[in-house]
Chains A and B, each alone.
Chain A
Amino acid sequence: MSQALQHLFGIGQLSREQIEYLIDMGESFVELSRRPIKKAPTLRGKTVINLFFENSTRTRTSFEIAGKRLSADVINISASTSATSKGESLLDTGETLAAMQPHVLVIRHSLAGTCEFLADFLPHTSIVNAGDGAHEHPTQILTDLLTLKTQADGYQGKTVTIVGDIAHSRVARSHLLAAQKLGYKIRLVAPKTLLPSHVRQYGCEVFHDFDAAIPGSDVLYMLRVQSERLTDNCAFPSIREYHEAYGLNRKRLAQAGDNCVVMHPGPMNRGVEIASDVADSARSRILDQVEHGVAIRMAVLTALCGAAPEPEKLSPKKEKAAAAMQAQGKLL
């Protein structure tokens, strides 16, 4: 059975089988990046456009490397160099790029739902969400799951303790959705100012005291304090105080079980959410996450570029949009 996807908006849209399929395929791509010649012809003749309205070096680079290692042609567009800075609307930018016939558009935007919005108007382009506001970031969570699978002996029945700026974290949200589908447990640790009250609906445990959450954790997943989104500066008194209460230091790590590993989606703020020696310790899986990120993005691009879904699987809305576009003579 083929598991072809048309778009990847979020972990919420995927079934357990689809998630496991992408993780398994990602696992087999890890080896490709360790070869002397890091290139396979899988996506030869495909075009991937990275459209980033928000800055992101690692996600963009990771998508770019993933596409290039599979022989796709990859083009990067950032908001500062795109026509949006000249006043073009999001929809016009999307339609203009789609008219150049790429197979995949990888989009990062500060607003949740950007990808779904564009997908309704671009029936012939697959869209990957590379982070939309505080909503979802599916390739990051898939990356984390691959790291859990290979470096922490699987995710089934494990307890993943996510610490820090939950309020602004799309990764935390994606983990809450994935945990329910894949059968692992989530503990959230944050000051009340960084923890939205709605998270309890996902059936996770909530802690305000980091030390109480450590025993029994299989993974300590540290989140970056997103100072660029903390505009009013009143979430916590000072960086130093935050580090005291919610930073992972050697003393805290010593309270964790022997097999407990440390993860972080990056970029890290050493000395804020994670102490430098912990980030560099043998428990850290942070660089494995980066390596797995490339492999997962290869898997996602391959799944999206695989056999196209049957026309009847298009949503009625998309069919309408497609018909409208055809009527306007926009398509060949």
Chain B
Amino acid sequence: MADIIYDKAAVGAALDRMALAIRSQGNDIALIGIERGGARVADAVQQRLERAGCMVVRGNLDISFYRDDLDTIGSNPEVRPSHMPFDVSGRTVWLVDDVLYTGRTIRAALGEVFDYGRPDAVRLCVLLDRGGRQLPIAADVAGLMHAADAGCSVKLVTEDVSENDWHIEQRRVRA
């Protein structure tokens, strides 16, 4: 049984705060969404930034081929091509993801970003920080904070709903 821990209003307000926090650091912005959830969040943040008059360039990363668990869980059955239409070298780029948990996805994404070039700085913006980090990685901007224990799965639900109905649900997967 899944509980809705943040409803559409809370998610919408969090996206507004994230856009505001990113905008406070400059108007020329490079956003990189991490497939798949992060790419959706990046779309939503990008719309808000553009409405506020910012210049936004966008990329998406699929980090399937940079993961460290090929040996334990096998290859991801659903991979998408990464797409980086701008040069990351010499600029500040924002990595965008939906839920920040162990930090392993971000570690993999950092590796992939640096395979495209040498950014001046990489910053991390997430919709929800659920705690439980296994690596020394922290978000620069987190829209929401929620301490979930290790037996729970926390995810942003965007499937089958329009952007206005996004919500975050928590489900216990093991005791």
Q: How far is the CA of A43 from the CA of B84 in the complex (A)?
A: 22
Q: How far is the CA of A21 from the CA of B64 in the complex (A)?
A: 14
> B75 and A306: CB pair below 8 A?
yes
28 A-B residue pairings within 8 Å (CB atoms): A1-B77, A2-B73, A2-B75, A3-B75, A4-B74, A24-B78, A24-B79, A27-B81, A28-B62, A28-B64, A28-B79, A28-B81, A29-B65, A31-B81, A31-B82, A35-B84, A35-B115, A35-B116, A36-B117, A37-B117, A40-B112, A42-B70, A302-B70, A306-B74, A306-B75, A307-B70, A307-B73, A307-B74
A28, A36, A306: the one within 8 Å of B70 (CB) = A306
Q: Tell me the smallest distance from the CB of B90 to a CB of chain A, in Å.
A: 14
B6 CB-CB contact with A under 8 Å: no
A25 cross-chain contacts in B, Cβ below 8 A:
75, 79
B159 CB-CB contact with A under 8 Å: no
Which of A28, A32, A307 has most B Cβ within 10 Å? Answer: A28
Binding site for B on A (CB under 8 A): 1-4, 21, 24-25, 27-32, 35-37, 39-43, 70, 302-303, 305-307
B172 CB-CB contact with A under 8 Å: no
B119 CB-CB contact with A under 8 Å: no
- Closest chain B residue to A305 by CB distance? B70
Q: Tell me the smallest distance from the CB of B166 to a CB of chain A, in Å.
A: 26
> A36 and B116: CB pair below 8 A?
yes
CB-defined interface of B58-83 with A at 8 Å, one 1/0 digit per residue?
A: 00001011100011111101111111
A4 cross-chain contacts in B, Cβ below 8 A:
74-75
Q: How far is the CA of A36 from the CA of B108 in the complex (A)?
A: 18
> Please, how many residues of chain B have a CB less than 8 angstroms from a CB on the other chain?
23
> B81 and A303: CB pair below 8 A?
no
B64 cross-chain contacts in A, Cβ below 8 A:
28
Q: How far is the CA of A36 from the CA of B114 in the complex (A)?
A: 11
**Which DSSP category, helix, strand, loop or mixed, fits chain A's interface?**
loop
> A307 and B81: CB pair below 8 A?
no
Given A302-B70, A305-B70, A40:B115 Cβ within 8 A: yes
Q: Tell me the smallest distance from the CB of A296 to a CB of chain B, in Å.
A: 13
* Given A37-B116, A302-B65; 17 other pairs, CB 8 A cutoff: A1-B77, A2-B77, A24-B78, A27-B81, A28-B64, A28-B80, A30-B81, A35-B84, A39-B115, A40-B115, A41-B66, A42-B65, A42-B70, A43-B70, A302-B70, A307-B70, A307-B73
> A42 and B66: CB pair below 8 A?
yes
Q: How far is the CA of A302 from the CA of B62 in the complex (A)?
A: 15
Given A41-B111, A305-B70, A70:B65 Cβ within 8 A: yes
Q: How far is the CA of A70 from the CA of B64 in the complex (A)?
A: 12
Q: How far is the CA of A35 from the CA of B87 in the complex (A)?
A: 11
B62, B72, B75: the one within 8 Å of A303 (CB) = B75
Q: Tell me the smallest distance from the CB of A33 to a CB of chain B, in Å.
A: 11
B74 cross-chain contacts in A, Cβ below 8 A:
2-4, 306-307
Which of B72, B75, B82, B83 has most A Cβ within 10 Å? Answer: B75
Q: How far is the CA of A1 from the CA of B73 in the complex (A)?
A: 9
Q: How far is the CA of A21 from the CA of B117 in the complex (A)?
A: 30
Q: How far is the CA of A120 from the CA of B78 in the complex (A)?
A: 31
Given A42-B70, A307-B70, A302:B111 Cβ within 8 A: no
- Closest chain A residue to B82 by CB distance? A31
- Closest chain A residue to B71 by CB distance? A307
